[in-house]
Structure formats: structure tokens, C-alpha cells
């Protein structure tokens, strides 16, 4: 009887430890620390206004790669700030690139661009392969890419104009 109690107690202890590891694994970051850089993965996507856009062709200039959806409330709220930042820092070389996901229709996307006065390139990630390769699971998601093509920061969620500007100045 003593052996059975011991075995049961050990099993419960091991099961508890395994459960704790599983629960804690969701708290661990899968991204490199923010002070480390990683080369931005190259891709080519169709542009809303025609043709294709290849990211690596724009290495050499600072890039804000922005994943969004027209139906996302936070994306709608943040878009005027992105337009302002692009208009302010375009002359310093900044390129803002919007990557649309969950696109219901091209016309809906065109209306979104027109309504917000977006002049930066808008790409369509129809199969969401690029989003997946960048680990985008929540939007809006921002990647700040320096002139060397390295991702120096990435942020998920709504960013204020001041936060956007601070990150943009870091890559200029």
C-alpha cells in the first residue's frame, strides 16, 4: 500500500510540474529581445494600385511595415496617425507600407484608402502567407525596419502618434 501511495504522489507531482510548464510556456516570448535585430524576411505582394511590391527592393530606407484590416477598429483609429507620420517623414526617406489582411473586397479596401487619404503603398496579403511568415496573429502589427533591412522593433496593437513618432525616429 505504501508503494502505491508513493507512486500516486509522484505521479501527481510530475503531472503538476508538467501542467505548470505548459501554462508558463504561454508567457514566454517567441520574439528576440528588442535590442537584437533580425533581417526582415523578403516578400513580394500585389499592390492595390497595380503591379507588385518587393520588400528587399526598398532596403536602404527606413520602413514601417504595417499589417492591418479595414474592419479593425484599432486600425481605423490609428490610420490618421500613420498618414501624418508618412507625410511628415517621407522627405527623410521613411516608407510606410500597409499590408491588408482579411480583405473582404478590393473595392472596400479602395474606399478605406480614399476615406483616410492614404498615399503610402497598400499591399494585399490575400493568402496571408506573409502575415504568417512574420508571425502576425493580431492586428494592427507594426514592424520597424532600419536602412539595413533589419527589424529593430515590432509592436502589436494601437500605437499613439507619439509612440509611432518615437519608433520612426529610431529608424531614421
Residue 128's CATH number: 3.40.30.10
Count of domains forming the chain: 1
Q: Indicate the average pLDDT of the chain.
A: 87
Check pLDDT > 70 for residue 80.
yes
**Single pTM value for the model:** 0.78
Closest CA to 164 of 140, 131, 136, 130: 140
Check pLDDT > 50 for residue 149.
yes
Banded model confidence at residue 25, pLDDT cuts 50, 70, 90: very low
**29 is a domain residue:** no
**17 is a domain residue:** no
Whole domain around residue 66: which residue ranges?
37-171
**16 is a domain residue:** no
Peptide linkage before 140 cis (omega within 30 of 0): yes
Distance of CA 98 to the CA centre of its chain: 10
**3 is a domain residue:** no
**76 is a domain residue:** yes
Query: Cα–Cα distance between 104 and 42 in angstroms, integer?
Result: 25
Question: Interior CA angle at 86 toward 147 and 127, to 5°?
Answer: 75
Mean pLDDT throughout 120-131? 97
Distance of CA 40 to the CA centre of its chain: 12
**11 is a domain residue:** no
**27 is a domain residue:** no
As separate numbers, helices (DSSP H) first and strands (DSSP E) second, the chain gives: 5, 8
Give the containing element (helix H, strand E) for 86. Answer: helix 73-89
pLDDT at residue number 37 = 72
**68 is a domain residue:** yes
Check pLDDT > 50 for residue 62.
yes
Mean pLDDT throughout 121-146? 97
Amino acid at each position: 500500500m505504501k508503494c502505491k501511495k508513493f507512486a500516486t504522489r509522484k505521479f501527481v507531482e510530475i503531472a503538476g510540474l508538467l501542467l505548470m510548464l505548459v501554462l508558463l510556456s504561454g508567457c514566454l516570448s517567441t520574439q528576440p529581445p528588442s535590442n537584437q535585430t533580425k533581417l526582415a524576411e523578403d516578400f513580394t505582394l500585389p499592390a492595390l494600385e497595380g503591379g507588385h511590391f518587393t520588400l528587399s527592393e526598398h532596403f536602404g530606407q527606413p520602413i514601417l511595415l504595417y499589417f492591418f484590416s479595414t474592419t479593425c477598429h484599432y486600425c481605423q483609429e490609428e490610420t490618421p496617425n500613420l498618414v501624418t507620420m508618412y507625410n511628415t517623414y517621407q522627405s527623410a526617406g521613411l516608407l510606410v507600407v500597409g499590408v491588408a489582411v482579411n480583405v473582404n473586397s478590393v473595392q472596400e479596401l479602395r474606399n478605406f484608402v480614399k476615406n483616410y487619404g492614404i498615399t503610402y503603398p497598400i499591399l494585399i496579403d490575400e493568402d496571408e502567407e506573409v502575415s504568417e511568415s512574420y508571425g502576425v496573429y493580431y492586428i494592427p502589427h507594426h514592424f520597424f525596419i532600419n536602412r539595413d533591412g533589419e527589424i529593430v522593433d515590432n509592436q502589436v496593437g494601437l500605437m499613439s502618434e507619439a509612440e509611432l513618432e518615437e519608433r520612426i525616429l529610431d529608424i531614421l
